[in-house]
Each structure stands twice: as structure tokens, then as C-alpha cells.
Chains A and B, each alone.
Chain A
Amino acid sequence: KAGVTQTPRYLIKTRGQQVTLSCSPISGHRSVSWYQQTPGQGLQFLFEYFSETQRNKGNFPGRFSGRQFSNSRSEMNVSTLELGDSALYLCASSLLSGLDGYTFGSGTRLTVV
């Protein structure tokens, strides 16, 4: 059974650019969440999608957005990149909800220069 797949693994972008990260959940999982991990702030919740609908959103600016497709694959987009957006972005999937626990992908390491 394939795990959660995130692409790309590494990205280097310039300030002001935008970036799109992709996540393919475990087959059959309908809930997909995104988290940002930085040394200073730790792991912070970005948003959660279930059946193509955003079900929950964390406390991040509107430059951070996401979507989920009918096959449960998800993308997150960050526009007008700032140096502080450099982080490991983790995607996680669950059958129904976070109460059952999430399976995490290996993450996308974004560096903004």
C-alpha cells in the first residue's frame, strides 16, 4: 500500500515568486491536511480538506491557499513568497478525520532566497 506522496522533495524559490506543492494521499483516504514545520514555530496547522471542501483553516495569511481534487489529491499554493516561508511542508492523510490519526508524507523542503 503506497504511503502519502509529496512532490517535489526540495524547492528553491526567490522572494516574491509563487509555489505549488502537491500531495497524493493514501488510496481511500478522504481527509488531507497540511502543516508547516520551522525550527522557531514548530509544527503548525495550515488547512484541512475533506471531499474537496476546506473543512478547517489555521492562522496563516491569505497568501497560503489549497485545494483538493475529486481523487483526493491536494495542492497547496503560496503566493508572493517571503523569506519566512522557508520551511518543511508536510501533508498528511486520514480515512475520515484527525481523530483517527494522520499518516504523514516525507515533506517538501522549501527554501526562499
Chain B
Amino acid sequence: AQSVTQLDSHVSVSEGTPVLLRCNYSSSYSPSLFWYVQHPNKGLQLLLKYTSAATLVKGINGFEAEFKKSETSFHLTKPSAHMSDAAEYFCVVSDRVAGNMLTFGGGTRLMVKP
């Protein structure tokens, strides 16, 4: 069975400082991994995805994530936080064994202080 653990439920950073949102996954098959962002009262927007190509994945709005199989991790980073980055972030896994179903982590709420 696949599962996702987001290690921090809340992260607070100052504007202009780096962002690190941590994610560990479990999958019985070669997984696809995603990061989604959700702004208040909005749907989910895909930030980036890993689908067994390059392990360092670049996404929108300056975000990137590195797939580390040995550590079963897929942490999300951004060099410099912007106020508009304040939102909830979800790490998501999908694999063929689970029938392509998406399994979501519990979410990390990112707060950006001015």
C-alpha cells in the first residue's frame, strides 16, 4: 500500500528566506510523486511532478523537489519565499499497484512573515 507522510503540519518563514517542506513516501512499486498547492477556498494546483525521469524536478513559481529513492523522500524547496506562497501544500503519491489512485499527505501550511 502506498502512503505519504508530511513531516511538518506548519512551517513559518520570513519573506526572502528559503523554504523547505518535507515529505516521505511509501510505495510498493515505482511511484509518481507530486506536490500540489491549495490557496484558501480554492482547488489544488499542480506545482511539479516526478515520473521516473530526472530526480531533480523543477516546477512553477520557483519551486523544485528532489526524488531520493534511498531515503524515500521528496522534499519541496524554494530559494526565496514570497508572501504569495502562503498556502497549504500537499505531497502526493501514485502507483500502478494502487490503480493510479492519488494518496495525499496530511498537508503542510506554509506561513510567510513580512
Contact = CB atoms under 8 A, between A and B. Distances in A.
Interface of A: 4, 31, 33, 35, 42-45, 48, 55-56, 58, 90, 92, 97-107
Contacts of B101: 33, 45, 48, 56, 58, 98
B90 to A, nearest CB: 7
Contacts of A35: 102, 104
A105 B69 CA distance: 31
Interface in B41-98: 42-46, 49, 51, 90, 94-96
B32 A43 contact: no
Interface residues of B, number: 22
Given A99-B32, A104-B44, A42 B100 contact: no
A101 to B, nearest CB: 5
B104 A43 contact: yes
Q: In the complex, which of the residues A31, A99, A103, A106 has the most CB atoms of chain B within 10 Å of its own CB atom? A: A99
13 contacts: A35-B104, A42-B104, A43-B104, A44-B104, A48-B99, A48-B100, A55-B100, A58-B101, A98-B102, A99-B51, A99-B96, A99-B100, A101-B34
B33 to A, nearest CB: 10
Given A98-B102, A104-B36, A42 B107 contact: yes
Nearest to B99: A56
Contacts, number: 60
The 10 closest A-B pairs by CB, nearest first: A98-B100, A56-B99, A43-B104, A104-B44, A106-B43, A97-B100, A104-B43, A98-B94, A99-B32, A101-B49
A55 B98 CA distance: 11
Contacts of B5: none
B95 to A, nearest CB: 8
Nearest to A58: B101
B3 interface: no
Given A44-B104, A100-B51, 5 more contacts: A42-B107, A90-B43, A99-B94, A101-B34, A106-B43
